[in-house]
Chains A and B, each alone.
Chain A
Amino acid sequence: MTTLAPLYPTHQPRKLKVATVSLAGCFGCHMSFLDIDERILELIEHVEFDRSPLTDIKHVGHCDIGLIEGGLCNSENVEVLRDFRKHCKTLVAVGACAINGGLPAQRNHLDLGEILQDVYGSRTGMSAGSAIPNDPELPLPLNKVHPIHEVVHVDYFLPGCPPPADAFWRFLTDLMAGRTPHLGHGLMHYD
């Protein structure tokens, strides 16, 4: 007896493409994301990673979800962010630095020129001939650090320093299921 082919093709939902990046961040949000532990096996049943420190792909392609860690402290951060916005249907600000500038923004009440001079010019113990790095390949620092929503439209914010792994999980499972992500008490943290 032969088995008949199913009358209708069975539906295999396309895997969502996800890209992640750390701009002016510490990769702590990415580390917290990895703290979802073995749930990452369930996650990759539903998503495929595009540009991310996890894949080492250098340029972002067309994606469903872009997760941005870190704020904007130099011109390269702005370029990468705009590229993500252009290529991601849903863009998420992940963590304190992407949301309000965070730790890097603590330099915002200081003069950038004076900071560079203090660090590379006049600090004690500098070797002779030390100067502010000026290689043309280095992206120029911005005068002030900015959160990402000041430069591109952001669809969702996932707060925390870092957001707990369970917050990543709740957020992504809500988003993948087509629900508005809702963290609720215990997962919503600014610290």
Chain B
Amino acid sequence: MSTSTATPDASFTLDGEDVPFRPGETILQAAQRAGHYVPHLCWHPEFHPHGSCRVCTVKVNGRAGAACTVQAAAGLAVESSTDELNAHRKTLLQMLFVEGNHFCPSCEKSGNCLLQATAYEAGMEGPHFEEFYPDRPVDASHPDILLDFDRCILCELCVRASADVDGRNIFAIAGHGIDTHLVVNSPSGKLGDTDMTLADRAASICPVGVILPKRRGFAVPIGERRYDVKTVAEPGNQEAS
């Protein structure tokens, strides 16, 4: 139970520490505002929660739930950084890595990538599972933007950014199960046939290396990038985009 004196009814505990919250906030929102780190991939503070990656799964009064979708309530006992939950998170990350083609040494997003940084923080040293090596050709049809689907983790942040912020509905998710994939809403299915611009929020929201500006490489050298310098767990460094 909360022992906070400032807002006696508006706090829950996260791994034993009091976390105050505002009405309507989710556990993840309140935790991050209070400077805590709950690992996440599909959640971004600017967008409605999606609850799909499950990396932010916590135990709320003993029951598992996605911290990005569960509303904070007074007196909840939330566990996040436990050996059990962190082991599950590592497994989720390993599955995401083998499902795509995550060849970090050749990726311009390396060092600025939320998936990579989250895996570093989770202590993911190897993939554990067999690699899928899926065939996902790049879309280089747009003059300014490259799409490399090899790295897509289906977080849908580009779908939300294009629909909710840019008002263009350029991206969507198609298919089911293991065939689920990101598609471009244009007659040819190519990004070059859309009116997307580099100024769109969707062009900068990708937490991994799918949506990249063309002709921009190694502006910051490997080793000096966002997550090379500070871990993803540090306040202010928890979003890659």
Q: Is B105 touching A103 in the complex (CB atoms < 8 A)?
A: yes
Q: Is A146 touching B131 in the complex (CB atoms < 8 A)?
A: yes
Q: Is A185 touching B231 in the complex (CB atoms < 8 A)?
A: yes
Q: Is A149 touching B103 in the complex (CB atoms < 8 A)?
A: no
Chain B residue nearest to A146 in the complex (CB): B131
Chain B residue nearest to A162 in the complex (CB): B105
Q: Is A109 touching B126 in the complex (CB atoms < 8 A)?
A: no
Q: Is B131 touching A188 in the complex (CB atoms < 8 A)?
A: no
Residues of A within 8 A of B97 (CB): 100
Q: Is A190 touching B105 in the complex (CB atoms < 8 A)?
A: yes
Residues of B within 8 A of A109 (CB): 133, 135
Q: Chain A 53-82 against B: per-residue CB contact (8 Å), 1 yes, 0 no?
A: 000000000000000000000000000000
Q: Is B126 touching A106 in the complex (CB atoms < 8 A)?
A: no
A26 to chain B, nearest CB (A): 11
B34 to chain A, nearest CB (A): 22
| Residues B114-147 near A (CB distance < 8 A) | 116, 119-121, 123, 125-128, 130-131, 133, 135
Q: Chain A 158-191 against B: per-residue CB contact (8 Å), 1 yes, 0 no?
A: 1101000000000000000000001101101111
For the complex, is A33 an interface residue (Cβ under 8 Å from B)?
no
Q: Is A159 touching B126 in the complex (CB atoms < 8 A)?
A: yes
B141 to chain A, nearest CB (A): 19
Task: Given the known inter-chain contacts A154-B126, A158-B125, A190-B116, please indicate yes or no for A100 contacting B105, CB distance below 8 A.
Answer: no
Chain B residue nearest to A96 in the complex (CB): B105
Q: Is A157 touching B126 in the complex (CB atoms < 8 A)?
A: yes
Partner of A96, one of B104, B120, B128: B104
Q: Is A150 touching B104 in the complex (CB atoms < 8 A)?
A: no
- Secondary structure of the B contact surface, majority rule: loop
Chain B residue nearest to A183 in the complex (CB): B125
Residues of B within 8 A of A183 (CB): 125
Chain B residue nearest to A98 in the complex (CB): B126
For the complex, is A16 an interface residue (Cβ under 8 Å from B)?
no
Q: Is B125 touching A103 in the complex (CB atoms < 8 A)?
A: no
**Assembly CA distance A102 to B98 (angstroms):** 12
Q: Is B104 touching A144 in the complex (CB atoms < 8 A)?
A: no
**Assembly CA distance A183 to B121 (angstroms):** 11
Residues of B within 8 A of A149 (CB): 126-128
Q: Is A93 touching B126 in the complex (CB atoms < 8 A)?
A: yes
| Residues B88-117 near A (CB distance < 8 A) | 97-98, 102-107, 110-111, 116
Residues of A within 8 A of B131 (CB): 100-101, 105, 146-147, 150
For the complex, is B222 an interface residue (Cβ under 8 Å from A)?
yes
A54 to chain B, nearest CB (A): 24
Q: Is B105 touching A191 in the complex (CB atoms < 8 A)?
A: yes
B152 to chain A, nearest CB (A): 15
B85 to chain A, nearest CB (A): 19
For the complex, is A99 an interface residue (Cβ under 8 Å from B)?
yes
12 A-B pairs (CB sep. < 8 Å)? A99-B126, A100-B103, A101-B133, A102-B103, A149-B128, A150-B131, A154-B126, A158-B125, A159-B125, A161-B105, A185-B120, A190-B110
Query: Interface residues, chain B, CB within 8 Å of chain A?
Result: 97-98, 102-107, 110-111, 116, 119-121, 123, 125-128, 130-131, 133, 135, 222, 228, 231
Other contacts beyond A101-B131, A190-B120: 19, CB < 8 A: A96-B105, A99-B127, A100-B97, A103-B105, A105-B103, A105-B131, A109-B133, A109-B135, A150-B131, A156-B125, A159-B126, A182-B123, A183-B125, A185-B231, A186-B228, A188-B120, A190-B102, A190-B104, A191-B107
